Amino acid sequence: MSSPRTTWSHLVVSLRAMLVLTVILGVAYPLLVTGLGRLMPVRADGSLVTGADGAVVGSSLIGQSFTDADGAPLPQYFQSRPSAAGDGYDGAASSGSNLGPENPDLIAAIESRREAVAALEGVDVAAVPADAVTASGSGLDPQISPAYAELQAPRVAAARGLPEDEVRGLVAAATTGPDLGFLGQAGVNVLELNLALDRAGS
């Protein structure tokens, strides 16, 4: 049986440990992380992207749709890949469809998207790349494959009255390689590409 003095000493040690850890983990560590984040303000604030007027138009890390009020693709803009996050690109509902590859609903959705993309781009359904008809695991992917961007270039050039070579040059400029040179695949950030198109005029 422990004496009252031993119990009191254990309580004092526990309180001291709690106070020290509270100061370190509850005050010092958050301040350190916040301070380091201030050294990278773009990333710390969500990698926000601004338009020509200085207004925030989105984030380079979260995709968005480029459609009219009825949900139809705007022909003058490159289109993002489909999203299963909420009503589409909802950062508060990040997720995939959770449908397996043999699920009839997923198969039907992919076939429907493939036909819609082929019709929009004026190509055969066999030419439509996979990322044009499938959502990413997060539903928030801001990038499309270079192949999907190249497929859309003729339509965007025609809608804007720009030379196709100029639009393809913007695609090439917006294309980034795999992370660290070997992680993942090359991608094209759709928002940044569309903003570059707006800056190019027409």
Query: pLDDT tens for residues 111-147?
Result: 999 999 999 999 999 999 999 999 888 888 899 999 9
Q: Do 149 and 65 reside in the same domain of the chain?
A: yes
pLDDT at 2: 60
Inter-helix orientation angle 146-160/104-121, to 10°: 40
pLDDT at 94: 82
Model pTM score: 0.75
Give the range of the structural domain holding residue 150, as residue numbers without chain letter: 48-200
pLDDT at 90: 82
**DSSP state, 60?**
T
Segments of the chain scoring below 70 in pLDDT: 1-2, 40-46, 202
Rg for the chain, CA atoms, rounded: 25
Q: Do 10 and 74 reside in the same domain of the chain?
A: no
Q: Do 34 and 52 reside in the same domain of the chain?
A: no
Length of the chain: 202
Q: Do 8 and 88 reside in the same domain of the chain?
A: no
Nearest to 77 by CA among 91, 57, 94, 92: 57
Q: Do 32 and 56 reside in the same domain of the chain?
A: no
Distance CA 80, CA 73 (A): 10
pLDDT at 41: 61
pLDDT at 119: 96
Domains in the chain: how many in total? 2
pLDDT at 115: 97
Q: Do 82 and 163 reside in the same domain of the chain?
A: yes
The CA angle 31-37-43, to the nearest 5 degrees, is: 155
Q: Do 85 and 143 reside in the same domain of the chain?
A: yes
Q: Do 35 and 52 reside in the same domain of the chain?
A: no
Q: Do 37 and 52 reside in the same domain of the chain?
A: no
Q: Do 56 and 98 reside in the same domain of the chain?
A: yes
Distance CA 157, CA 165 (A): 9
Do 57 and 51 contact (CB within 8 A), yes or no? yes
Q: Do 37 and 89 reside in the same domain of the chain?
A: no
Strand partners, 49: 58
**DSSP state, 24?**
I
